[in-house]
Chain A
Amino acid sequence: MTHRRTLLASALSLALLAAACHQDDLFTSLPPAYAGGAMFTRYVSFGNSITAGFQSGGLNDSLQRAAYPVLLAQAMRTTFYYPSINYVPTLDLYGCPSPISFIFSNPPTRLGSPTTPLCSLRSANIPPYLNNVAFPGADVLELLNTNYAPPQPPPSATDAYKLFLLGGRTELQRAREVSPTFVTVWIGNNDVLSAILDTGDAGQAADITPPATFTTRFDALMDSIDSFGSVQGGVLLGVVQVTGAPYVSQGRVYFAAQAAIPTMTVLPNCLAFQALSATDTAFVYVPFHYGAPIVAQAAAGVSDTLDCSNSHVISVAEAVNMISTVAQYNGAIQQAATARGWLFLDPNTLLRALAADTAAIRPFPAFPPHPAATTAPFGTAISRDGIHPSTATQKLIAQTLQGAINAFYQSAIPAVP
C-alpha cells in the first residue's frame, strides 16, 4: 500500500468511526444502579386514599409527597410521578379538599379560611404519566377496566378524583401507559370500610363486598396487570382490619370513659365481645361520627346515653362478619401473590404493633380539652380523620416495604430516607 493510500484509508476509517458512533450515554433514564435495581425501573402503585397520600380528610402536594409509594420510589431511585394537587397557602390553596385541622367541630374545621376554595386545582406542571395511580375512594371494582362486566361502581362522593387525579381513566389504564416493571397493589380497604362510615346503619353487610365477589374482582384485576406483559415483580398488600382504626372505639372503652363524664351513661350492652382466637377478639364498635356528639353533649353538661344496640353502633356479630371478611380477602390476595411468585405483605402486623402503643393509636379519641385533641386526636400514627395513616406511619409503611422487598427479591433498595 502506498503512503497516499494509507493516508486515505486512515482518514476514511476515522470518518467511518465518527459516523458509526452510537451515543448510548445520551439516554438519561437508566435502571437504578444497585443489586436487582432493574426490576424497579418503572414502579407503579395501585391503591386507594392511603396510597394516594390522603390524610386528615384531605389531599394536597405536601401530603402526597409523604405517601409511602413516593418514599419507596425515592429509595428505589426511580422516576416517580404523582398527580400533584396545589398546596400554596400564600394563594389560599390547601388541597382537594383542604385537610382537617380540628375534627371536634361541626363540620370539622379545615385548613384555610371560609373563602378557601373547596378544591384547589392540580399543579400546573402536569407530569407526562403517573406512577402513583391510586385515588381516594377506590375499591377493587373501580380499579378494573371500564369495559369490565357490570356492575359498574355506584356513584360516590369521591368520584371526582377519577377525573381530577386520573383524567377520567381507570387506575389500570393509567398504569398501562407506564409499562411498569414493578407494582404494589393495596386495594380492598374500601370494600369493607364503608361499613364503619355508614351513618345510617354502621356495620351492615350491605356495605361490604362479599368475599367471593371480592376474589373474582381481585383476580380480574391481577389478570389485567399480568396482561401488561412488563411487570417483573410486585407486592400485594393485605386489607386492613378496619375495626382496628381509631375512628371506631370499642364499646368497653366508652363504658370506662363514663366514669370521667358523669352526665354520660353507657349501657352495659357496650361491653359485649366475642373471642375469635387466642389473640383476637371482636367487640362492639362505636363510630366516631356517632360517639363523638354524645361525648360532646355530655361534656357540655347535657345528659346523654350510649346504647350499643343502636344501629349506629357496630354489633359484635357485624364486627365478626367484618373481621372474617377481611381475613377471606387477605386469603385471596395472598393466593394471588403466591400464584405469581410475588410478595404478600399483611399490614395488620404493623398496625397491631402500633396499636400496642396507645399514644400511637388511641383506643379512645383525645377529646378537648385534651392537649392532643388538635395535634393527634386519634394518636400519632393516624391522621386527624381517624382512618388514614399519619406521615410517620406512611414512612413506616415505606420502610417496611423496603425491607420486605429486599428480603423477598434479594434486592438492595437503599434505606427509605
Chain B
Amino acid sequence: MGQSLRYALFLFAAFPVALGAQGFGIFEQGACAMGRAGTGAAAPCADGSAMFFNPAGLAGLKGGRATVGVTLLDVQGAFTDDIFQEKTSLDDPLIAVPQVYISYGATSKLGIGVGLFAPYGLETQWPLAFDGRFAGYKNILQSVYIQPTIAYQVTSGLSVGGGLDIVLGKVELNQRLDLAEAPIPTALVPVPPGSPPATFGQFGIAPGTDFADVHLEATKTAVAAHFGAIYKVNDRLSFGANILTQAKFDYSGTATFTQVPTNLVVPADLAVGALTIPAGTPVDLLLNAPPLSLFDPTIGVFKTQPVVTTIKNPSQLTLGVAYNIASGWTVLGDYQHTWWNQFNELVIVFPQDLSGALDRHLYERYRNTDGFRLGAEWAKDAKWTVRGGYLYHGGAAPAATVTPLLPEGDRNEFTAGATIKLGSVLTADLAYQYIRQNDRRGRTREPIFNQVPTTGLNNGLYSFHAHLFGVSLGYAF
C-alpha cells in the first residue's frame, strides 16, 4: 500500500482515544450498536457494523448497504496530585472517529462486505506543565482495520462469517526528558560494579528540569482475523459469538531529540572526576560539549536515530444473546473478554545506542478484562427505532501501571440512541454515550533505569469521563 494512501487512511480515521472498552480498546464502531451499549454479537445492527460486532451477521442480507458514520468524543480527564492537590486536565481536542461499512447480499445465503474501523487506539494529550510530560505528553496509538468480510448461512439457524484484517498501525510518543534522572557516563563518574550510573540529580539538578524533547514515531502494517457465528434458536432467541485475533506490530520508526534550555549555570568550580567545570559554565553548553556532546548530530547519544518496539492489539471474544420479547421489543446481552495480558511489556529499543542507555522498558502488565453489556431496543414503527443500554468494564491496568499514557480503570457507561428511516433508501442513526470511569490512583513518572514500577510511585488521582455522540447515515442499494 502506498505511503500516501496509508496516511490518507490515518487522516480519515482521525485520532481515536481509548474509550468504550478497556485498555486502549474502542467499541464504538457504529451509532446503532452504540445506542444499545455495543451489544450485537447475537443480533448485529443492519447497518453493516456486523463486520465488527459479528461478521456472521452479514449472511442473509438482501441487496446492498453503505454506511458512513462518525463518533464524536468529548473527553474530560484530569490528574490531581497528592501533595498540592493541583489538578491538571487533559488537553484532548474533540475527536472524530469515523466508520465505513459496505455490505452486499450476493445470494440469499451469502453476504459479503468490506469495513473500515478502529477497535484499538488511544490519544492522550497533557499540557507541558504537567509532571507526566516525562512519561509522555502527547501519546497516540492508532490501528485502522480494513476488513474484507464474508458470511454464509449454513442452516436456517446457523450463520458463520469471517474476515481478514489488514491493520495499519501507527504509534507516536512525545515526551520530555528530565535532567535530574539522566545518567552520567561512568567514565566521568565511576560507580561500584553492579550499581546504576550516577544521575545529574545527584549533582543537585532538581526533578522537573526539562533538557530534551523526544519524538518517537513509527508505522507498521499487521494482519489479524475476525470470526463469528450466530445461531437462531427460533424467531425470538439467538446466540452469537465473535472473535477478533491479536494483531502484532513490530514497529520500526525514527526518534528525534531536541535540546530544551535549562538556563542553569554552574555556580562554582566543579570537579567531576578528572574534569573541572569552571564556575559560570551554562549547563546547556556543558551538555552539548565534549565529553558529553549529547546532541551532536553524528556522535551524540541524542542524534536522530532508528527506534523499534512491538505492540500487540490483543485478542477479544464476545458472546451474546438476543431475545425478541414482543411488540417490537428486543433485549440483548453481551459478555466480552479481552486478553489484555498480551500487553505485558513495552520495550522501546534504540539499536544504534549500543550502551542501551536510551532503551525504555515499560512494564504494563495488563490484566485480562471482562465487560458486560445490556441493551434494549424498541421498533416503534417502520420509521422509528429507539434503544438504550448500560455496560460495565473492569480495568486492564494494574494499580502500578496507571500512567499518563493511559490512566484507565473500571467504567460504567450509559447509552441511548435511535434509528430514523428517512426514506425508502436512507436511514440515519443517532446515539449518545456517557462514560464514567472510577477515580483511580496513579503516577506521573516512570521509574528510572527501567525498574519495575510499584504502587509506591503513585502520586495522585486520575479522573475521567466522556460524552460521545454517534451519527451515521445508511444508503440501501
Contacts and interface: CB of A to CB of B under 8 A. Distances in A.
Interface of A: 12, 15, 18-23, 26-29, 42, 79, 83, 91, 118, 121-124, 126-130, 155-157, 159-160, 162-169, 174, 177-179
Contacts of B208: 128, 177
A163 B83 contact: no
Given A15-B412, A124-B199, A162-B268, A26 B204 contact: no
A160 B206 contact: no
B308 to A, nearest CB: 30
B207 A126 contact: yes
Given A22-B439, A79-B83, A167 B279 contact: no
Interface in B189-207: 189, 192, 196, 198-199, 201-207
B267 A162 contact: yes
Contacts of A21: 438
Contacts of B439: 22-23, 26
B204 A166 contact: yes
Nearest to B83: A29
A162 B265 CA distance: 10
Contacts of A20: 436
A167 B264 contact: yes
Contact of A169 (B80, B206, B438, B460): B206
B36 interface: no
Contacts of B180: 126, 167
Given A15-B412, A126-B207, A121 B83 contact: no
A91 B194 CA distance: 14
Contacts of A128: 83, 207-208, 459
B441 A163 contact: no
Given A121-B198, A124-B201, 11 more contacts: A22-B439, A27-B80, A27-B82, A118-B271, A124-B198, A124-B199, A127-B207, A128-B83, A166-B204, A167-B204, A168-B283
Interface of B: 80, 82-85, 180-181, 189, 192, 196, 198-199, 201-209, 264-271, 279, 283, 390, 392, 412, 414, 436, 438-441, 459-461, 463
A358 B438 CA distance: 64
Contact of A29 (B82, B206, B265, B392): B82
Contacts of A166: 204, 206
Given A26-B440, A27-B461, A163-B270, A19 B412 contact: yes
14 contacts: A15-B390, A19-B412, A83-B204, A123-B202, A126-B181, A126-B207, A128-B83, A160-B269, A163-B204, A163-B266, A163-B268, A166-B206, A167-B180, A174-B206
A27 B266 CA distance: 38
The 8 closest A-B pairs by CB, nearest first: A167-B206, A159-B268, A126-B201, A168-B264, A19-B436, A19-B412, A160-B268, A121-B202
Contact of B267 (A129, A130, A160): A160
Given A18-B412, A163-B270, A26 B206 contact: no
B203 A124 contact: no
B191 to A, nearest CB: 10
Contacts of A19: 412, 414, 436, 438
Contacts of B460: 27
A237 to B, nearest CB: 25
Nearest to A18: B412
Nearest to B465: A19
Contact of B279 (A118, A129, A159, A178): A159
Contacts of A163: 203-205, 264, 266-268, 270
B202 A129 contact: no
A350 to B, nearest CB: 32
Contacts of B181: 126
Nearest to B440: A26
B178 to A, nearest CB: 10
B209 A167 contact: yes
B461 A121 contact: no
A122 B203 contact: yes
B438 A168 contact: no
A42 B267 CA distance: 28
Contacts of B198: 121, 124
B301 to A, nearest CB: 21
Contacts of B83: 29, 42, 79, 128-129
Contacts of A26: 439-441, 461
Given A26-B439, A160-B270, A168-B265, A179 B84 contact: yes
B192 A121 contact: no
B267 A159 contact: yes
Question: B181, B208, B267, B414: which has the most chain A beta carbons within 10 Å?
Answer: B267
Contacts of B80: 27
A79 B459 CA distance: 13
A83 B201 CA distance: 10
A128 B209 CA distance: 11
Nearest to A28: B82
A348 to B, nearest CB: 32
A169 B460 CA distance: 26
